[in-house]
Amino acid sequence: MTLDLAAHGAALVCSGVASCCARSGPADGRRERIVASMLMTAAMLDAAALHLAAPIVWAAALLAAAMVSSVTRRWRAGRGGHGVYVPAGLVVMAALIASSMHGDPFSTAAATHAHSGPALTGICAALAVGYTAASAYRMRRGSPTDRAHHAAMGGSTALMALGALL
């Protein structure tokens, strides 16, 4: 087993924990957290093992979900809202999934990745560090299940970034 595969497997475990804990927290945010967690877990599972869809398809689905989440959040709560934690997580995961190289190494996407690899990897690492720090901050408050959800989301993101860097 390679270190890359181990990091993806650990990220999937964290994502599964986050999906299980998504039912915690305020009632108005539960549905959003459940859908986001399940979508991220599905994208990670497919990118790491199944390869049913291209990573760019998952990235587009994650970005679309982030936009829908932001719009519905603003519609429900006005400008004050509950923050951007869930939509930001979807965007960070979309970046990590899009930057992953799975499939045919001689494809056009792989050739493009080879030329822009260091810059894209650096951006993804910076996004992952920022989201992991936000998860650690949010982990300090809330119910134990809420804390577990934020810890699992941060851990999953950090492990996905590690897998992308390997």
Distances from the Cα of 6 to the Cαs of 32, 49, 82, 153, 154, in angstroms? Answer: 29, 12, 34, 17, 17
What residue segments make up the domains of the chain, in order of their start?
Answer: 3-165
Q: Mind listing the pLDDT tens digit for each residue in 81-127?
A: 456 788 888 899 998 888 875 444 434 444 444 445 677 778 888 99
Residue with tokens 């429900």: 76
Query: Distance between CA atoms of 128 and 89, rounded to whole angstroms?
Result: 9
CA distance 26 to 28: 6
Residue 77 and residue 162: Cα distance in Å, rounded?
A: 35
CA dist., res. 91 & res. 127, Å (int): 9
Say how far apart CA 69 and CA 165 lie, in whole Å: 29
Least confident of 48-62, 63-77, 96-110, 126-140: 96-110
Q: Does the predicted model carry a pTM greater than 0.75?
A: yes
Pick the closest to residue 25 from 93, 85, 90, 91 (CA basis): 85
